[in-house]
Structure 1
Amino acid sequence: MTTGSQTTSLQLFFAICFSLTLFACDRNMVYEKIEDVPGSEWNATAPIDFVVPVDDTLTVQNILITIRNSSSYKYSNLFLFVTTTSPSGASVCDTVEVPMADDKGRWYGKGFSHSYDSRMPYKLMIKFPLKGDYKISLLQGMREETLSGIEKVGIRVEQSKIK
């Protein structure tokens, strides 16, 4: 029988191992950053911004969105407003639906305990037209001013495996 502190230590160990496996470095990764949502409470007026430096305008790349939700998240999806601003200042805003759970409430993301990590394609097989810093802003687009249960959000840019 394990004590409470042994159980907590074991859970922490597995969380670290899982995170290292899920987010391990690979050759295709160009950029990745994951930000905490303070208190797992995402306000509808609080965008989470990422600055993606782009030096390569020739390689085909993919942009993915990473979401970590807790099991207390009460919806089966998440709507996001994604605004991308190029180095020239031109902006494009997309509304993106991220499926989070199936019809029976089973989370799509990988996880254990009470947290689940999902990675969803946002833009596939694109070439950035300009070199420089691209700003990608994520804003929750649900019908609640404060959305509970979203712990982290992130952006990943990787080289496409299909050229």
Structure 2
Amino acid sequence: MILKKMNLNNMIFGSFCYLIFIFFSCSDKNSIVEYKNFNYGWESNDKAKFMIPTISGEMANLIIHIRNNNSYAFSNIFLIASIEVEGKLFSRDTLEYELADSKGEWLGDGFTEVKESRLWWKEDFIIPEGEKIYAVIEHAVRSNGIENGIENLEGIIGVGLSIKTENKNQ
């Protein structure tokens, strides 16, 4: 009994140390990350909208983050990702990303049922001039042979966007 309690305490302490290590090693002064979480899957009409801060003219890498669990029934995901400046469409991309390998193993990071995949969207993107700049992400997943998209994408529990700017002074 005492041995089990010591092992549990060691596991908790080890997990805490690991989380602290990850937190400090992954922080980046030039990186912004924002998430939109979904309680019951990603509805087809639920667009994830992220404000891009006014860092006009700087080069940035835009990375989409997808969090999924084992309820996600597909090995890939189709997304429509757009940049809007002052309410007008600036760019739109249709993207496909693999979330699982050919054996069905998730490619994302994570130790539990939840996996997170970081998916490159735009590299060395020059952020356009404007006061209100938004990135808008929606899913475009369809079942094979069916024209209409899937209404609720079960197993997708969150989508995020990270913006990593190039620091020219380094």
| TM surpasses 0.5 | yes
What's the counterpart of residue 47 of structure 1?
47
User: What are the superposed Cα offsets for residues 70-111 of structure 1, whole Å, 9 maximum, x if unpaired?
Assistant: 022111111111121013623422111121011111111111
CA distance in 1, matches of 2:141, 2:91: 20
CA contact (8 A) 2:75 2:98 kept: yes
In structure 2, the partner of 1:151 is 157
Percent identity (aligned): 26
**Mind listing any 5+ residue stretches in structure 1 that lack a counterpart?**
none
Measure, in 2, the Cα distance between the counterparts of 1:35 and 1:23.
24
Whether 2:135 is the aligned partner of 1:136: answer: yes
Checking the alignment, whether the CA contact within 8 Å between 1:86 and 1:133 is kept in structure 2 is: yes
* TM-score normalised by structure 2 residue count: 0.77
Cross-structure match for 2:111: 112
Aligned-residue offset at 1:28: 2.7
Whole-angstrom CA distance in 2 between matches of 1:35 and 1:88: 20
Matches of 1:50 and 1:86, distance apart in 2:
12
Q: Name the TM-score, length of structure 1 as normaliser.
A: 0.79
Distance in 2 (alpha carbons) for counterparts of 1:145 and 1:134? 28
Q: Which has the higher strand share?
A: 1
Cα deviations by residue, 1:20-52 (Å, 9 ceiling, x for unpaired):
5499421231x220111122x111111111111
Distance 1:22 1:72 in 2: 31
Displacement of 1:141 after TM fit?
Answer: 0.6
In 1, Cα distance between equivalents of 2:136 and 2:25: 21
Relative to structure 1, is the Cα distance of residues 18 and 150 closer, same or farther in structure 2, using a 3 angstrom cutoff? farther
**1:83-98 residue pairs with structure 2 within 5 A?**
83-87=82-86, 89-98=88-97
Q: Note the aligned Cα RMSD (angstroms).
A: 2.9
CA separation of 1:46/1:66 partners in 2, compared to 1, >3 Å: closer, same or farther? same
Q: Describe the SS at the equivalent of 2:132.
A: strand
Equivalence for 2:27 = 25
The aligned amino acid for 2:43 is N
Distance 1:72 1:18 in 2: 29
Residues 87 and 130, structure 1, Cα contact 8 Å, conserved in 2: no
Whole-angstrom distance in 2 between the partners of 1:34 and 1:20: 18
- Distance change (3 Å), C-alpha of 1:145 and 1:90: closer
Q: Specify the alignment match of 1:75 in structure 2.
A: 74
Once superposed, which parts of structure 1, at least 4 consecutive aligned residues long, lie more than 6 Å away?
Answer: none
Give 5+ residue unaligned stretches, structure 2.
143-149
Matches of 1:65 and 1:157, distance apart in 2: 9
In 2 relative to 1, CA 103–19 (structure 1 residues): closer, same or farther, beyond 3 Å? farther
CA contact (8 A) 1:49 1:136 kept: yes
